[in-house]
Amino acid sequence: MSKIAVVYLSTTGNTRAMADAIADGARSRNVDVEVKSFYDWKPEEAAAADAIAIGSSTFHYTMLPPIEKFVDKLVGAGAKGKDGAAFGSYGWSGEAPIMIAEKMRIGGMNVLDPVLRVQYKPNEKDLKECNRLGKDLAEKIKK
Ligand SMILES: Cc1cc2nc3c(=O)[nH]c(=O)nc-3n(C[C@H](O)[C@H](O)[C@H](O)COP(=O)(O)O)c2cc1C
């Protein structure tokens, strides 16, 4: 079965809620999905999935150094040519998901639109959009 890795950094659970909704959407399309914090993923392990979704909230107009290092390692560990998605909760500027998408694209990944950004805690509509993104990513790798 095709597999999607969902990786996130979340301090108060907002980006985590997005990750869970993306995972639920993908699962509804019958692909294998593993969703965990980046602390619990090895970059090579996530890179080995058929598609990879990476999310981070924004701090001080950027992403935190540990997730930045993680993304660099993951993209360098064989994710080239794979489908990906970037997402994250933010407060007022929301740079992190855009930076993640940029790193994925530079590394040769095909990043789905939209790069999903939600202000603070995702509401019902936001979670539906996350669901949709998960479904779209699953459909991509089922082909
Ligand atoms: C110390 C601190 C710095 C932050 N800096 C930014 C920022 O520069 N830009 C922004 O959009 N949000 C910023 N935020 C807001 C967080 O991105 C926002 O609260 C987000 O919902 C947290 O999501 P999480 O629970 O997934 O970590 C900051 C929050 C904190 C606590």
- What are the structural domains of the chain? 3-142 (3.40.50.360)
Give the torsion through C-alpha atoms of 22, 23, 27, 32, to 10 deg: 140
Question: Could you tell me if 80 and 52 are in contact, meaning their C-beta atoms sit under 8 angstroms apart?
Answer: no
Residue 58: strand, helix, or coil = coil
Substitution site in 10, 20, 61, 90 for ligand 1 pocket (most atoms within 8 Å of beta carbon): 90
Q: Determine the pLDDT at residue 36.
A: 98
CA of 21 to the centre of ligand 1 (A): 20
Chain-centre distance for alpha carbon 98: 11
Find the mean pLDDT for residues 55-73. 97
The answer, yes or no, to whether residue 42 has pLDDT greater than 70, is yes
Q: Identify which of 107, 140, 102, 134 has the alpha carbon closest to the alpha carbon of residue 18.
A: 134
The answer, yes or no, to whether residue 116 has pLDDT greater than 70, is yes
Question: In Å, what is the CA distance from 120 to each residue of 8, 13, 17, 108?
Answer: 15, 10, 11, 30
Question: In Å, what is the CA distance from 75 to each residue of 98, 100, 123, 125?
Answer: 15, 10, 30, 30
Find the mean pLDDT for residues 22-46. 97
The answer, yes or no, to whether residue 143 has pLDDT greater than 90, is no
The answer, yes or no, to whether residue 52 has pLDDT greater than 80, is yes
Question: Could you tell me if 142 and 134 are in contact, meaning their C-beta atoms sit under 8 angstroms apart?
Answer: no
Q: Identify which of 52, 98, 57, 96 has the alpha carbon closest to the alpha carbon of residue 75.
A: 52
Find the mean pLDDT for residues 7-32. 98
The answer, yes or no, to whether residue 72 has pLDDT greater than 70, is yes
CA of 100 to the centre of ligand 1 (A): 16
